[in-house]
Each structure stands twice: as structure tokens, then as C-alpha cells.
Amino acid sequence: MIESVWLRRNRPRQEAPPLTQERIVAEAVALLDEEGAARLTMRRLAERLDTGATTLYWHVKTKDDVLELALDAVFGDVPVPEAGTNWRADVTALMSGWRAAMLRHPWSASVLGGRPLLGPEVMARTDFLYAALSGTGLTGTRLAGAAYAVANYVIGSALMEVGARRGDGPEAEKAAEEHLAGHRDRYPHLAAHGHLSGGEWDAAFLQGLGYILDGVARTEP
């Protein structure tokens, strides 16, 4: 028997929240966190927002726009320290926060390359980095070089740790140790000192950053 429309109790229609840039970025970050940058498409993002791709394009023109906005949102998660009198402590605090944010959003470090990074969150933290490093007396290209060295170290360390986490675990670590032990004659220094294990990343990051800041401190203004 055909159901009568007059007997059907229609459910009240639930309107989707208005589409805003903030909502688009929040959903994009969620998608990226869950599935990675390779799975981000404008169609998939539109589906998650319960809207059409045409509507989405009114707010963001390209996938690269979405990634740039999402990256700026990730930078917004990085606490800006209270500027103190110790430039080294300020840089360490900022870079530790940046690393932590990239590890919470594992896709972020891999999509940084080739992007202008001119968003307000990025610029505010970059300006803080320059201000802190200027406490060494460096200016101009020397200051910029120091900032690039520190920033590139943080990006590289996050990329390495994210990659290691994908194969992390006792079995993966044991396999790596056995591989090195079996090739001790070919790679004597690696066999003697090994690779970082899961519990050593934090300490190794701070140690490496300290080496860089030692060099910055000794650079002639």
C-alpha cells in the first residue's frame, strides 16, 4: 500500500549553519587531522560541510587556499610567550610550542614548503621569533638567517618524528636495531649510537635546538 502524504509526519528541516571562512577552516583542519593532506579535495570538504562545491568556491578559490588557511589556524594554536629578558628562553618556548602544534596536526609540516605563509597567526609568531633573536644583537640578513635556521630545524624535526611515529612501536624499533647490528661493519657509527627511540624525541629536540642557539649566540652581530 502506498503511504499517504497526508498521514506522513514530516520531520522539521534542520538548516545547516551558515557557511563562513571560520567554519570551513575548522572542518578542513578536522579532515586533514583524520585523513591527511592527500585526501583533502574541495568536493570532500563541501560534503563534510553539507554544502555544494559551488557554494564552497564562493569562500575559498582553491585547495591551496584551504591549506594556507588551515596552516594559519595551526599556528594559532602555538602559544606566544610573554616576552622576557632571556632571548634564548623565549625562542625555546616558542619553538617548543610550534613543534607540539605540528605533532598534533601531523600533516602540517609536510605542506609548509612553497607557501607564502602570510597569515596573521604565522606573521605574529614569526615577528616574535625575530624580536627574540634580536636580543643577540643580530640584525638584517644575519638575523633572518638565524630565524630560518631555527624554523627549518623545527620543521625538519617534526617531519622526522611524524615519519617515525607511523612505524613506531617495539617491533619496529627492534627491527631497526637488528638491521643495524647486521650491518655493523658498513655503518659502524650508526650501530654504535643507534637511532632515537619513541621516548627520546623531546630531549633530543631540545638538545639539538640548544646546539643551534649556541651557534647563534656566538655569531658576530
More confidently predicted of 175 and 101: 101
Close Cβ partners of 46 (under 8 Å, ≥ 6 residues apart): 52, 53, 55, 56
Q: What's the confidence (pLDDT) of residue 150?
A: 98
Crossing angle of the two packed helices 63-76 and 21-35, in degrees rounded to 10? 90
**Average pLDDT of span 16-45:** 92
**Average pLDDT of span 17-42:** 94
Topology of the domain comprising 80-217: Tetracycline Repressor; domain 2 (1.10.357)
Considering the entire predicted model, what is its pTM?
Answer: 0.85
More confidently predicted of 191 and 11: 191
CA 79 to chain centre: 14
CATH for 21-61? 1.10.10.60
Q: What is the DSSP letter of 155?
A: H
Break the chain into its structural domains and give their ranges: 21-61, 80-217
More confidently predicted of 35 and 12: 35
At residue 181 the predicted structure's pLDDT band, cuts being 50, 70 and 90, is confident
